[in-house]
Amino acid sequence: VIVGGGLIGIELAEMLRSRNIPVTFLVRESSFWNGVLPEGESQMINEHILEHHIDLRLETNLAEIQSDVHGRAKAVVTDKGETIPCDLVGLTAGVSPNIDFLGDSGIVLGRGVKVNRYLETNIDDVYAIGDCAEQHEAIGNRRPIEAVWYTGRMMGETLAQILCGNKIPYNPGHWFNSAKFLDIEYQTYGWVFSDLTKKENEMHFHWRHPKEKICITVAFDKESRKFLGINTFGIRMRHDIFDRWLSEARDIDHVMEHLKDANFDPEFYDPYESDILTAFNWQFDTQLRMKKKSWQRIFNGT
């Protein structure tokens, strides 16, 4: 039984299923990871989890873990009163920095070790980076603690510069991330909020393939039409291109018309940009035309 429906829970489920071990997956939310993913995407992942014969229990919490006479897990009891026998319980309900040992150190702590943009704590010559570091002020839409590998690496690079005398602030740039939900690759660039956390100005365009588990959601500003971010499932997109479009504050029309430049699927994969643009034009009553892929634009930006 796995408790907690996030990236690590689904990774553990995939690993157990790859060895033909039956899995029951307890997820507190009404749909998988719907605090992060928009509804259409979350729904598609629910379906994919079930296709992998994982017993997905939505809106279900862990109430108790029962042990046998040897102290080993033998069952879990859910908040719905159901007892599920098991040999192993995977607790994947989130991470928090393990900083108890710093309690008496005089270092200012929150959920993590508090740092400024130079990754300095309140004590001279003591810095914190990686999963344990908590920014005093969140940077843009980012969380004060970001437990992902690439921000840890960027903090490491920044701190190396600082220690070598080049005092630069930590600047993680535009948000991006990638992961895998069983067979489906996921990428995100910029900000696409879930239906639960979406801001007033954020408009979504969602396209899903009629048969395959492939979809995208593009977020843009309702008023200015500024492109805010994209989530892709089952289609690989170029990080560089979206990073550039975000920096150049491109509008949604530019992004949709140049989508072929962003596609990074390997050879012989079916392209879907034309279908996506047709759906966009239909939904938003626009007459955008797909531009031919240009290597010049891709590599030189012109």
Choose between 7 and 203: whose C-beta lies nearer to ligand FAD.
Answer: 7
Structure tokens at 44: 């598609």
Q: Is 172 one of the binding residues for ligand FAD (CB under 6 A)?
A: no
Query: Considering only residues 8, 89, 139, 154, which one is a binding residue for ligand FAD as defined by CB under 6 A?
Result: 8
The CB-based long-range contact list for 170-175 (8 Å cut-off, 24+ gap) reads 170/117, 170/118, 170/119, 170/139, 171/117, 171/139, 172/139, 172/142, 172/146, 173/243, 174/242, 174/243, 174/246, 174/247, 175/140, 175/141, 175/142, 175/229
Query: 177 or 281: whose CB is closer to ligand FAD?
Result: 177
Q: How far is CA 92 from CA 76, 123, 182, 257, 294, in A?
A: 15, 33, 16, 40, 43
- Cα–Cα distance, 57 to 286 (Å, whole number): 41
Nearer to ligand FAD, 7 or 65 (CB): 7
What are the tokens at 300?
């030189």
Q: How many residues bind ligand FAD (CB under 6 A)?
A: 12
Residue 97 or 276: the one with the smaller Cβ distance to ligand FAD is 97
Instruction: Candidates 45-53, 58-66, 148-156, 160-168: pick the segment binding ligand FAD (CB under 6 A).
Output: 148-156
Interface of this chain with ligand FAD, residues 49 to 108, rule: CB under 6 A: 98, 101
Q: Is 131 in the site for ligand FAD (CB under 6 A)?
A: yes
**CA-CA distance, 71 to 67, in Å (whole number)?**
5
Candidate ranges 65-73, 106-114, 149-157, 289-297; the one touching ligand FAD (CB under 6 A): 149-157
| Amino acid at site 99 | I
Smallest gap from residue 153 Cβ to ligand FAD (A): 8
Q: Is 149 in the site for ligand FAD (CB under 6 A)?
A: yes
Calpha distance 222→200 (Å, rounded): 9
Q: How far is the CB of 154 from ligand FAD (least distance, A)?
A: 11
* Pick 6 or 38: Cβ nearer ligand FAD: 6
In the complex, the residues that contact ligand FAD under the rule CB under 6 A are 8, 11, 98, 101, 130-131, 147-150, 152, 179
